[in-house]
Structure 1
Amino acid sequence: MALVPYEENLVPALSKLHNTSAEFYFANHRLRLTQDWNRLGVAAVVWDAAVVLCMYLELGHIDLKGKTAVELGAGTGLVGIVAALLGANVTVTDRKPALEFLTENVRSNIPPDQQRAVQVSELSWGEDLERYPSGGFDLILGADIVYLEETFSALLRTLEYLSSDSTVVLLSCRIRYERDEQFLSLLKKTFRVQEVHYDSQRDVHIYTAVKGQTRTDL
């Protein structure tokens, strides 16, 4: 969500994020994601939470073939791209300033015969949600989108709007601060939340959230 450039000398430990690209191998495809920290800040780099979520999806814990998915705060688009390569029909979303950058990454990494499986769309959490089908997705994906307390209310409204009783929300994140735990507590008021994976090397948690009856066919 945040499109704030950061000064490089303020975060020397994150120097790899200032590389102009990042390369991965997922879903039998070699992916090269453009990064642009100086222009778009945290929205334009690949974070560990996205990598861990892609690894989780690739393990096949969730059947993606033919499913409709939406990625929130997509940034570079890595998670949505991998979900599409694994068979989902994906809408990757972010705020307007990131869309051109996001679109180019999708174009560059999705084979021509699969381009129709991915749509890039503007979505600012909590705003103009009626542009999207209420409860219209099988799967909602979010990697490292729980970090700004002022966005929590809008994010929760967005998750509630996009989810039906059979939608599975997959959130991949680090629990950095007490406020992150507070978001999970707020989420549990509407959703049944369960931790399904923890990557101890990267300190990344993956949670599923479902409102209503638990889905068994994903």
Structure 2
Amino acid sequence: MALVPYDEAAAWGLQKFHQPAATFNFASHTIRIQQNWNQLGVAAVVWDAAVVLCTFLEMGTIDLQRLAVIELGAGTGLVGIVAALMGANVTITDRKVALEFLESNVRTNLPAHIQPNVAVMELTWGHDLGNFSRTFDLILGADIIYLEDTFTDLLKTLEHLCSEHTVILLACRIRYERDQNFLTMLKGPFSVAEIHYDPSSDIHIYKAQMSALKKEL
């Protein structure tokens, strides 16, 4: 969501993020993602959490065929692109400033017959949620848990987009106590469980669903 670098960016060795493109192979397709760190910062590069989440989707734990899927804070759009290639009807979202860049990646990497199954839409968490009147089968988020100021709006957005049947998958690296604090917040309205961990990148994937108590309210 945020278009500013992480505080510890200098320590990460960010050379790969300054490359103009990154290439991946998912869903039997070669996906070439354009990057533009200088213009859009973290919204315009592919983070490890997105790659790990795409790899997890390819494991086939969830059958994406014809599911209504939404990706939050999509950035480059890699996760939403992969979900679409695997048969989902996907809404790929980010803030207005990132949309032109995001849509370019989406259209470049999706075959013509799949493009009608994909929408790119503006979504600033917590705002104008009435533009999203439906609920989704699956909500995806890669590395969207890091700015504490957005946590309340992110939680509000997740609740708005969910039905009792919706599955949320969040891929993230737990960097600070505040990241863990969001997971604690998430456990209010949702049941939360860690379902995958990639030790090579230190990325966790959490699954959340509306809790039984919330369903009864």
Residue 82 of structure 1 corresponds to which residue in structure 2? 82
Q: Deviations over 1:65-119 (max 9, x none)?
A: 0000000000000000000000100000000000000000001000011101110
Match of 1:25, SS state, is strand
AA at the equivalent of 1:26: F
Distance 1:166 1:210 in 2: 7
Residue 26 of structure 1 corresponds to which residue in structure 2? 26
Q: How does 1:35-46 map to 2 (within 5 A)?
A: 35-46=35-46
Distance 1:179 1:11 in 2: 20
Q: State the TM-score, normalizing by the size of structure 1.
A: 0.94
Q: State the TM-score, normalizing by the size of structure 2.
A: 0.94
Q: How does 1:11-160 map to 2 (within 5 A)?
A: 13-134=13-134, 136-160=135-159
Show structure 1 runs of 5+ residues with no match. Answer: 214-218
AA at the equivalent of 2:73: G
Match of 1:39, SS state, is helix
Distance 1:179 1:5 in 2: 17
- Asked if the contact 1:52/1:199 (under 8 Å) is kept, the reply is yes
Distance 1:121 1:190 in 2: 26
CA RMSD of superposed structures (Å):
1.5
Distance 1:141 1:47 in 2: 14
Distance 1:183 1:3 in 2: 20
Following superposition, the deviation at residue 10 of structure 1 comes to 3.9
AA at the equivalent of 1:36: N
Following superposition, the deviation at residue 4 of structure 1 comes to 2.7
Distance 2:207 2:33 in 1: 26
Aligned length: 211
